[in-house]
Chains A and B, each alone.
Chain A
Amino acid sequence: MDKVIFHIDVNSAFLSWEAVYRLHIRGEKRDLREIPSAVAGDVKKRHGIILAKSIPAKKYGVRTGDTISDALKLCPNLIMVPPHYDLYEECSKALIEILKEFSPCVEQYSVDEAFCDMTGTVGLYGSALVAANLMKDRIYNELGFTVNIGISSNKILAKMASDFKKPNLVHTLFPEEIEKKMWKLPVEELFFVGSATKRKLHSLGIHTIGQLAKTDLDILRAHFKKHGEVIYSFANGIDSSIVQDQAPPNKGYGNSTTIAFDVDDGSTAKMVLLSLAEKVCSRLRGDSVMASVVAVSIVDIYFRRSSHQMLLISPTNITNEIHKAACQLFDELWDQTPIRQLGIHTSKIVEEDSEKQINLFDMNRYEKLSKLDAAVDRIRERYGEDSIIRAIFLNGPIYHMSGGISPEKRKPKYKEGIM
């Protein structure tokens, strides 16, 4: 049977979702999608970049990732709204729920993208185009936002297809169509071709996907090694990966944070490391796993990155142990230049019930700390993350569990009205 794969991509996700919320839940009059608008972070917290833009804003040249000041130079009357991650989670969940009604195999690719394996569903909803239009319209009528759907016989082509003209459209890109629809596109539009690859390809005289597809594979292998094989396959529409509805287990758990001010003393940095350790370890314990490798990364005020890692004697998910390792790594790594961003990343993940080699002297401390962490987790689960915090963070400038989505980004402070 020929495979039929859909790729669903929400148009201007964060912006569209906020537009729907304001229109239908808050009862505001204007639709953000119809005016130049964007979702942007907080400049004062040094998160001031554009996260999503409306189609009118795109016409002014505003791009995702631009700083707010750059965006305002291009579009002075740009309306900006703060991020609303709790809403995005709900919208994403609702989207996946609808997709699961259409397909037995749905892979959530990101918060606003998913793949559906629609092979063999002709009897349920009709042919691919009919089903995709039904899906797209159902999503719009029920949830209020538009999506693009790409249809093909494999994931890479379906993903490229959904990126054609937007919004609210269904596109096909089957193998017989790639010459007509895909090969004329510039090479950087191909999935897995980033700015570095693009430059190298340009220097080889390869400017379109079609040229890449016809290039000798040996030449590509020589310049890009394995990556060359990958982009060659994709340019020719070859992709054998399957739609996986179960996410594979995580190979690493890490969190990092850009601090709102420059950190120039070790004790403040170690406080940030503690809050990162709290976050990372609660995630490790939440998934019942432990880590053996700990790495610390620093980005200084000159945007220079550096990192340092170590292997622990035995795997752990105890906050104090990971923090101790992180502090040791930090002391060995830091050159006293003021810091902008800190991160802790753990890897070499094992299941929690694997054997732990307990150091003879630490035996009691390990049990005590382990029970403490478990009790704190239970309190936070029941009464909220902020119901119990380590005393060092009281009245301090640093949030007690840094990393991931900070509380202010979860829900904006609307000036009036409900919710």
Chain B
Amino acid sequence: MLHMPVDVIATFNVQGKIKPNYIRLEDENHLLHTYKIENIIFSKEEKYGGIPVILFCCNIVREDCAQLIHIKYYVKSHQWVLVKERF
């Protein structure tokens, strides 16, 4: 169970606020699907180990269900990762 790097389309506003808009995820058959991020429930800045990260909790619609996902933006490396649910 590790954080998985993903492709994301995001917008930046004049104040430098980041908003993820679309995310591309791979399904069980290894096909890529682009999902629209319906809404952002909250965002939180973290700095564990001195590494600045912005955590977003958002909803996407997948197979007619609203699914909650957590994605993180690593500020210094400009990467986005999907936080996989721990079972």
Given contact pairs A26-B2, A27-B3, A94 touches B81 in the complex (Cβ within 8 A): no
What are the residues of chain A within 8 A of B42 when measuring CB–CB? none
The reply to whether A90 and B2 contact each other, CB–CB distance below 8 Å, is no
B16 at the interface (CB under 8 A from A): no
The reply to whether A418 and B86 contact each other, CB–CB distance below 8 Å, is no
| B52 CB to nearest chain A CB (Å) | 9
B77 at the interface (CB under 8 A from A): yes
**Of B1, B4, B48, B84, which is within 8 A of A25 by CB?**
B48
Given contact pairs A27-B83, A29-B86, A418 touches B49 in the complex (Cβ within 8 A): no
Chain A 388-419 residues near chain B, CB threshold 8 A: 416-419
| A24 CB to nearest chain B CB (Å) | 4
Chain B 1-27 residues near chain A, CB threshold 8 A: 1-5
What are the residues of chain B within 8 A of A90 when measuring CB–CB? 49-51
**Of A24, A29, A419, which is within 8 A of B48 by CB?**
A24
| B17 CB to nearest chain A CB (Å) | 21
A72-80, A113-121, A141-149, A312-320: which lies at the interface:
A141-149
| B22 CB to nearest chain A CB (Å) | 20
Q: Compute how far the CA of A143 lies from the CA of B2 in the bound complex, rounded to whole angstroms.
A: 20
**Of A17, A93, A95, A418, which is within 8 A of B2 by CB?**
A418
Given contact pairs A416-B2, A417-B2, A417-B3, A25 touches B83 in the complex (Cβ within 8 A): no
The reply to whether B49 and A87 contact each other, CB–CB distance below 8 Å, is yes
What are the residues of chain B within 8 A of A224 when measuring CB–CB? none
Please give me the residue from chain A that is nearest to B52 by CB atom: A94
Q: Determine which residue in A20, A21, A23, A27 has the highest number of CB atoms from chain B within 10 A of its CB, and name it.
A: A27
Q: Determine which residue in A20, A93, A95 has the highest number of CB atoms from chain B within 10 A of its CB, and name it.
A: A20
The reply to whether B81 and A418 contact each other, CB–CB distance below 8 Å, is yes
| B70 CB to nearest chain A CB (Å) | 10
| B7 CB to nearest chain A CB (Å) | 13
The reply to whether A27 and B51 contact each other, CB–CB distance below 8 Å, is no
A284 at the interface (CB under 8 A from B): no
Please give me the residue from chain B that is nearest to A84 by CB atom: B49
**Of B3, B48, B50, which is within 8 A of A418 by CB?**
B3
Q: Compute how far the CA of A330 lies from the CA of B25 in the bound complex, rounded to whole angstroms.
A: 60
B79 at the interface (CB under 8 A from A): yes
The reply to whether A20 and B1 contact each other, CB–CB distance below 8 Å, is no
**Of B3, B49, B84, which is within 8 A of A143 by CB?**
B49
Interface string of A90-134 (1 = CB under 8 A from B): 111111000000000000000000000000000000000000000
| B residues apposed to A, CB below 8 Å | 1-5, 46-51, 53, 74, 77, 79, 81, 83-84, 86
List 15 extra interface pairs beyond A27-B2, A94-B47, CB under 8 A: A23-B48, A26-B2, A28-B2, A29-B86, A87-B49, A91-B50, A94-B50, A142-B47, A143-B48, A144-B48, A145-B49, A417-B2, A417-B4, A418-B5, A418-B81
| A residues apposed to B, CB below 8 Å | 17, 20-21, 23-29, 87, 90-95, 142-145, 416-419
